[in-house]
């Protein structure tokens, strides 16, 4: 009886911790679509959504209801099971990535010692949903978009991995909370500024965002891997993309901007909750995502590959050697390395 009660108590605690993280993420994801459309309208000197509700605040709700009411069409020549499973995989993996993300001190669903490995592994699995969508659609445009996405994500994951190695060397841990606490004296964006720039540009490519949205190249591939999708199946791909944007922004916040830690030297507001500091920094990166989409033209595919393999990869590998050599010369390399 006691074991049953303890299991129920554990389940309730786990659900509450999950809801504390997932509900704000889902709300932020919904209104990120509105923020992006409003932001792009402001940058391009035009009106954004302003009809549904005051200043268009109910636009995400209206879009969601519209997509729910639409018919879900499955092409006759497709693989129906994999076709409908692909957007679910993309959406679920985007949510699972938040399991190890510390939003504030003690506010994390699973504070594992190898949190960065888990985060990197989940991010790598996200490409399978897109590949399944392209293959199961039995459409040449969808299949070409899926191949582009797979090559693109694999190419830029290598650079992201080398950047993370530099962070491990400096922090001496793979625990995300430990990486945040290691930045109490200085945020890693200061000594590792070139690595931060590589990571940010690679994050744009990893999330298939402009100017690296080649898998959805409308002028060439009609709509890319999701060309055959409709209704909520179509929406799940974009919901997963926006959650991945927030997830990648949170990852950059933890690795380079001190996570929930305030910049006390400049703004000594220590009374502000850590989760609010975390949200502000994530919002700063999301502004960068929106600005990049509004300001830059789309890369050609050969330019995308050349940037990843001939520029970012050599720079990333060189910086790993430079950082480790510097730490060895200072006798500051953590134990175990």
pLDDT (0 to 100) of residue 193: 87
Q: Considering only 11-25, 34-48, 271-285, 300-314, which range has the smallest mean pLDDT? A: 11-25
Which of 214, 240, 229 has the alpha carbon at shortest distance from 297? 214
Look at phi and psi of residue 172 and say left if phi exceeds 0, alpha if psi is from -120 to 50, else beta.
left
**Mean pLDDT score, 159-174:** 85
Whether residue 337 has pLDDT greater than 70: no
pLDDT (0 to 100) of residue 10: 65
Which of 141, 146, 143 has the alpha carbon at shortest distance from 90? 146
d(CA 122, CA 100): 11
d(CA 27, CA 126): 21
> pLDDT category, 285, cuts 50, 70, 90?
very high
Provide, rounded to the nearest whole percent, the portion of the chain with pLDDT above 90: 3
Angle, to 10 degrees, between the axis of helix 193-206 and the axis of helix 140-171?
160
d(CA 335, CA 289): 37
Which residue's structure tokens are 């888990």? 118
User: Are 289 and 250 in contact, with CB atoms under 8 Å apart?
Assistant: no
CB atoms within 10 A of CB 251: 23
Provide, rounded to the nearest whole percent, the portion of the chain with pLDDT above 70: 89
Which of 240, 214, 211, 239 has the alpha carbon at shortest distance from 225? 214
pLDDT (0 to 100) of residue 104: 81
User: Are 130 and 284 in contact, with CB atoms under 8 Å apart?
Assistant: no
DSSP class of residue 72?
-
pLDDT (0 to 100) of residue 155: 84
User: Are 77 and 83 in contact, with CB atoms under 8 Å apart?
Assistant: no
């Amino acid at each position: 009886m006691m074991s049953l009660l303890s299991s129920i108590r554990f389940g309730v605690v786990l659900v509450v911790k999950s809801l504390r993280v997932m509900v704000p993420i889902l709300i932020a994801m919904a209104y990120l679509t509105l923020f992006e459309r409003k932001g792009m309208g402001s940058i391009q000197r035009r009106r954004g959504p302003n009809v549904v509700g005051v200043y268009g605040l109910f636009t995400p709700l209206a879009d969601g209801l519209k997509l729910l009411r639409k018919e879900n069409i499955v092409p006759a020549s497709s693989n129906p099971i994999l076709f409908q499973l692909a957007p679910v995989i993309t959406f679920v993996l985007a949510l699972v990535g938040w399991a190890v993300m510390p939003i504030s001190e003690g506010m994390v669903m699973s504070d594992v010692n190898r949190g960065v490995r888990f985060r990197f592994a989940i991010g790598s699995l996200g490409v399978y949903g897109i590949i399944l969508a392209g293959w199961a659609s039995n459409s040449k445009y969808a299949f070409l978009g899926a191949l582009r996405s797979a090559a693109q994500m694999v190419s830029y994951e290598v650079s992201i991995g080398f950047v993370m190695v530099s962070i491990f060397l400096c922090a001496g841990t793979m625990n995300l909370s430990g990486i945040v606490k290691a930045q109490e004296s200085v945020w890693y964006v200061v000594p590792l500024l070139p690595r931060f720039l590589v990571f940010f540009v690679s994050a744009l490519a990893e999330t298939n965002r402009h100017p690296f949205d080649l898998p959805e190249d409308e002028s060439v591939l009609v709509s890319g891997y999701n060309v055959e999708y409709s209704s909520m199946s179509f929406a799940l791909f974009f919901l997963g993309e926006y959650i991945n944007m927030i997830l990648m922004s949170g990852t950059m916040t933890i690795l380079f901007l001190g996570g929930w830690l305030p910049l006390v030297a400049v703004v000594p507001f220590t009374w502000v909750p850590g989760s609010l500091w975390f949200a502000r920094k994530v919002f700063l990166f999301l502004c960068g995502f929106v600005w990049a989409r509004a300001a830059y033209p789309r890369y050609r595919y050969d330019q995308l590959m050349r940037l990843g393999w001939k520029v970012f990869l050599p720079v990333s590998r060189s910086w790993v050697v430079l950082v480790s050599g510097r730490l060895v010369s200072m006798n500051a390399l953590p134990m175990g390395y």
